[in-house]
Structure 1
Amino acid sequence: MRVIVLGASGATGKQVVRQLMKRQINTRILIRESAVLPKDIQENPLVEIAKGNINELTNDEMNNLLRDSNAVISCLGHNMTLKGLFGQPRYLVFDAVKRISETVKNKPDSKVKLILMSTTGYTNTLSGETSSMGEKIILSLVNLCLPPHRDNVKAANYLITEVGTKYETVEWVIVRPDTLVNHDDESSYEVYKSPIRSPIFNAGKTSRINVSHFMAELVKEDELWKEWQYKTPVIYNKGYSENL
């Protein structure tokens, strides 16, 4: 088994790589030339490091990145700077997800699990999810004013409406944590089909290490994958799912 991790130098991406290392899973990561990785990831023999920007890869480079891979986990996101929020590329996540899906689609001999980290700010209307009027107003403003949110919504919509179950070689799960927090250790968490609390007015918390644990388990455990494939699970730290 080999897993590709995008955004591996980010706060959640690093945790994902460590979870895969813990499970002795071969991992190939793509990072920018300027990215800095912790020593434990750099020196781990299970980790293969490739450098470059995914949206600038040639077709040959993209095929090489995805060679012999069973899964792709995207933790891509925009830097919280003015340039990262409002500069190019505006659709970093969407462009990457689309290009990966189309590349894998043209490889009939290989099936790939694609796991996209999204947010509870994304409402899966096709599964029957609804938002209150107040949530709709605020999320509309966020979508209008913050390109990264618009990017996440566009990427999730693409998987649900364009890829769906039509691409025989692409299976996907969109993982939606609530407010991300940094904890050193894994803890109990709950996974739901849809949000059980308002992401705007009553947000919960989800530790990055728990998100990474869940995504690594999706890769490794076939039964868990079958449970959540083609769905948009929401993950909360257990205390926050109970204290409503």
Structure 2
Amino acid sequence: MRVLVLGASGATGQQVVRQFINRHIHTRILIRKSAVLPKDVLENPWIEIVQGNINEIKDGEMNHLLRDCDVIISCLGHNMTVKGIFGKPRYLVFDAITSICETVRQRADRRVRLILMSTIGYTNTLSGERNSIGEKIIMSIVKLLLPPHRDNVKAANYLIAEIGRKDDQIKWVIVRPGTLVNHDEASPYEVCESPVRSPIFNAGTTSRTNVSHFMAELTVEDSLWKKWESKTPVIYNK
């Protein structure tokens, strides 16, 4: 098995990489030249490092990046700076996901599992989820004013509506954590099909360690994957 992790230098992405190191799984990571990673990750024999920006990769380079990968995990996100929020690329996550899917579809011999880290702020209306009037108003404002949220919504909608449940080559899970917090170790957590609390007024918390553990378990446990395939599970700390 080989896993590709995008956004590996981010706070959650680093936790995901460590999960695979601990499981002795070959992991390819794409990082910018300016990215900073701990020495034990950079020099780990289970880690293969590719340098580059996902939004600048051409078709041939994407095909090379995806070679031999069975699972692709996206922890991509915008930097929380003025430039990162309002500057280009506006659709970092969406463009990466569509490029990956188009590349995979060009190779009839390739089957992949794709795990997208999204947000509790995404509402899966196709599964029957609905927001209150107050939540709709706030989410509309957030979507209007914050491009990263629009990016997350567009990427999730693409997997649900365009790839769907019947694509033979690409199987996917969209993971929606609550408000992300930093914990040193994994702790008990629960996974639900839909939010069990208000994503706006009572979003709950989820440690990055727990998110990374759940995504790693999706990768290695077939029964867990089958349970959540083509779904948008929500994960909360207990």
Hey, what does 2:31 align to over in structure 1? 31
- Return the TM-score normalized by structure 2: 0.99
After TM superposition, give the deviation of residue 58 of structure 1 in Å: 1.7
SS of alignment partner, residue 3 of structure 2? strand
Query: Aligned residue for 1:209?
Result: 209
What CA distance in whole angstroms lies between the structure 1 residues aligned with 2:61 and 2:203?
40
Query: How many equivalent pairs are there?
Result: 238
The correspondence of residues 202-241 of structure 1 with structure 2, limited to 5 A, is 202-238=202-238
Residue of structure 2 equivalent to 1:189: 189
Inter-partner Cα distance in structure 2 for 1:185 and 1:23: 16
Q: Secondary structure at the match of 1:97?
A: helix
Whichever residue aligns with residue 152 of structure 2, its letter is: N
- Give the equivalent residue in structure 2 for 1:16: 16
Equivalence for 1:135: 135
Q: Look up the equivalent residue of 2:47 and give its one-letter code.
A: V
Give the AA of the match of 2:18.
R
- Counterpart of 1:242 in structure 2 is none
Asked if 1:198 corresponds to 2:211, the answer is no
Output the amino acid matched with 1:186: A
Shift of 1:43: 0.9
Deviation at 1:222, TM superposition (A): 0.6
Q: Is structure 2 residue 170 aligned with structure 1 residue 170?
A: yes
Q: Matched residues in 1 for 2:167 and 2:224: separation?
A: 21
**Cα separation, 1, equivalents of 2:137 and 2:59:** 40
* Deviation at residue 206 of structure 1 after TM alignment: 0.1
Percent identity among equivalent residues?
71
Listed as ranges, the matches of 1:37-56 within 5 Å are: 37-56=37-56
Deviation at 1:165, TM superposition (A): 2.3
CA contact (8 A) 1:105 1:168 kept: no
Shift of 1:32: 0.8
SS in 2 for 1:123: coil
> In structure 2, what is the Cα distance between the partners aligned to 1:107 and 1:154?
25
Three-state SS of the structure 2 residue aligned to 1:135 is helix
Note the residue ranges of structure 2 that are not aligned, 5 or more in a row. Answer: none
* Match of residue 106 from structure 1: 106
Please state how far the C-alpha of 1:81 moved relative to its aligned partner. 0.3
- The code of the aligned residue for 2:120 comes to T
Deviation (angstroms), 1:166: 3.8
* Alignment-mate amino acid for residue 71 of structure 1: V
TM-aligned CA deviation for residue 23 of structure 1: 0.8
Q: In the aligned structure 1, how far is the partner of 2:45 from the partner of 2:92?
A: 29
- Gaps in structure 1 of 5+ consecutive residues: 239-244
CA-based RMSD: 0.6
TM-score by length of 1: 0.96
Distance 2:105 2:48 in 1: 24
Contact 1:105/1:167 (<8 A) preserved: no
Question: Equivalent residue for 2:5?
Answer: 5
Deviation for aligned residue 1:208 = 0.1
Looking at structure 1, the residues matched to 92 and 166 of structure 2 have their Cα atoms a distance apart, in angstroms, of: 23
